[in-house]
Structure formats: structure tokens, C-alpha cells
Structure 1
Amino acid sequence: MQFIQRWDQKTSQLFLSHSYNQYQARISRLISRTGDGPLYLLIAVILMWNDGARGHDFFHCIFKAFVIELPIYWLIKNSFKRERPRNVPVFITPSDRYSLPSGHTAAAFLMAEVTSVFYPMMLWCVFIWAGFIGASRLLLGVHYLSDLVAGACLGLLTAWLVLP
């Protein structure tokens, strides 16, 4: 476990300790905000109203996935109690104390997987967007790279549990 911690710390320092980090943080903040949650609800509601049975199925699948994912996320986060990155620039105030897993990344990959199943033509777009949300959390100084991997795995696994 110490190897992962050292590797995470070095990765965070590499991505955050340079002269462009303020500019990078502005862009990352905007990207990260798209993963705060309200956008997911808005997308699901719009599709439910405008895409008939497929939109309703999409909405219900997203709803079920988040009902499963959120308690698991909370349980993991409060069991591991991994402290957030230290000795690196931090550009936002995180909503909670611990870093593992990244909730933003979990939610983004959950949404991307469900969206790509219901709307296959969106596959590349939604997974690139999910990757950007995860990366933004690292670039804002609030998560380690392994937190992002854990979050992506949680989101994907939860989506797979509810997908038809």
C-alpha cells in the first residue's frame, strides 16, 4: 500500500507543481462542475420527457444506479478514510474530508456507461467527458490517481448491475 501512496504523491506533484497550474485549475474547475450532479438529473429528465420509452428506461436505470452507487461510495469513503493529497497546490475546497474513491469520477463513469448503452452513438463523447471529469479532480489537487481509478471502477460496476 505504501508503494501506491508514494506513486500517487509523485503523480500529484508532477501534475500540479508547475507554472501553468493556475490556468489548468481554471479549466479543471469548469470541467469538474459538470460532474457535480445537477447536470445528470437535467440530462435524465430531458431524455425522459423527449425520448419516449427509451428516455424513461434511461431515467429509471440512472436512478437505480445512483441509489446503489451512493451508499457504496459513502461506505468505502468512510471505511478507508484516506486523506486527501498533501504538499501539492489545492484549487478548490472539497465537499468532504476523504479522497478514496473519487465520487465525481464514479458518477461520471456511471453516467457514461449507462448513456453509452442507451445511446451508443454517444459512446466516445461520454467516456472522454468522464475521463476529463476524473482528470480535473487530480488537477484540482483533491484526489490521487488511484482515487480516480477506484471511482471509475465503482461507477462502471454499479452501472453494469442495473443495465438491461
Structure 2
Amino acid sequence: MKIDYLVKRDHNIMIFLNKNLKCKIMDRLMPILTYLGSTPFVAAFCSFALLFFGRARDSFGFKVSAAVVVSGSLSQILKRTVNRIRPFLILNNLNIKKIGIDDYSFPSGHTCAAFTLAVMILMFSHMWGISALILALGVGVSRIYLGVHFPTDVMAGMMLGTLVSVSTYLI
């Protein structure tokens, strides 16, 4: 069955990335990168954007904040609908780092938030947007590295954050 194949492939990629990237530098870097998709960071970023880049409907501050609210809400609805168990609870011998997480895995909320910010930054400034996208991708990889998300969780978070930001920008 195709679903079984996809799940097995997801598990295999998860194990490969989680085990083969492991090193002391990554052990220190990944928890820092993952923080860039956390609620405190995203809230601080949006507050700063609203304060310094406007609250008018077409301003960066308003649009990035609106996109974060929408993508975060959709991410939480999906998590509670899909109820996918986190990889470290299913797969044996993963390299995991204890970090604050909620119950479910799909989609990656941190990755969704990071891509929501990064894509909105890209829409307003290509120069800053490329750097933001690289950091957002790092957030996604960090979630796999830390053993808290499968690759498909991260890809779904990337797609959701991107779609919401582009849609919000165009409205």
C-alpha cells in the first residue's frame, strides 16, 4: 500500500537525518535555530514589526502579524485533527534533546511560524528574505535533528507558512 511506503520512507529519512547529522556543533546549534520558530520569538518579532513597520493594513507589521495568527491557528487545528504522535515516541534510539513541545507532531508549528515570517520578509525585501528563508529551513532541519518532527511534518509546516504568507500579502 502506498501509505505504508510513504510512512516507512518518512521514518527512514527521519532516522537518517537524526543519526547522521549528530555532532557537538549541531547539538549546540539546533536548539538555538529551533527557537527562531518558537512562540516567544515570533511574538517578539511581530511586536517589533508592528511598532516599527506600521499597523496600516498594507504595512509589513500588520501583514506579518496577521499571517502569523492565521498560520498558527491553522497549524493548531491540523495538529488536533491529525493527532500524529511525535517520532521520539515511536522510533527507537533517536538522538533527542528535551525541549518544550506540545502533544502532536503534524504539522511542525515551529517550521510553519518560521516560514510564515521568512516568506513575508521575502515579499517585502528580497535581500533580507533570502537570509530569512535559509534560517527558516534551518528551523525545519532542527526539528528533525531534535527528534520532535518527521520530515513530512516539516514539509507541511513549510507549505502552510508559505501559503498563508503569500495569501496574506496578496490580500
C-alpha contact (below 8 Å) 2:36/2:114 kept by paired residues = no
- Taking the TM superposition and a 5 Å limit, the aligned residue runs for 1:1-164 are 1-18=3-20, 20-21=22-23, 23-51=25-53, 57-85=59-87, 86-87=91-92, 88-164=94-170
Task: Give the alignment's Cα RMSD to 1 decimal.
Answer: 2.3
Q: Relative to 1, partners in 2 of residues 1:50 and 1:19: Cα closer, same or farther, differing over 3 Å?
A: closer
C-alpha contact (below 8 Å) 1:73/1:103 kept by paired residues = yes
Q: Relative to 1, partners in 2 of residues 1:49 and 1:64: Cα closer, same or farther, differing over 3 Å?
A: closer
C-alpha contact (below 8 Å) 1:44/1:58 kept by paired residues = no
Q: Relative to 1, partners in 2 of residues 1:39 and 1:12: Cα closer, same or farther, differing over 3 Å?
A: same
Q: Secondary structure at the match of 2:95?
A: coil
1:150 maps to amino acid? A
Q: Relative to 1, partners in 2 of residues 1:25 and 1:148: Cα closer, same or farther, differing over 3 Å?
A: same
Flag structure 1 segments of 5+ consecutive residues without an equivalent.
none
2:136 maps to amino acid? A
1:31 to partner: Cα distance: 0.9
C-alpha contact (below 8 Å) 1:31/1:136 kept by paired residues = yes
1:20 to partner: Cα distance: 3.4
Identity of aligned residues (%): 26
2:138 maps to amino acid? F
Q: Relative to 1, partners in 2 of residues 1:132 and 1:138: Cα closer, same or farther, differing over 3 Å?
A: same
1:94 to partner: Cα distance: 4.3
Q: Relative to 1, partners in 2 of residues 1:140 and 1:19: Cα closer, same or farther, differing over 3 Å?
A: closer
Query: TM-score scaled by structure 2?
Result: 0.84
Q: Which stretch shows the higher mean deviation, 148-157 or 2-11? A: 2-11
Q: Secondary structure at the match of 1:101?
A: coil
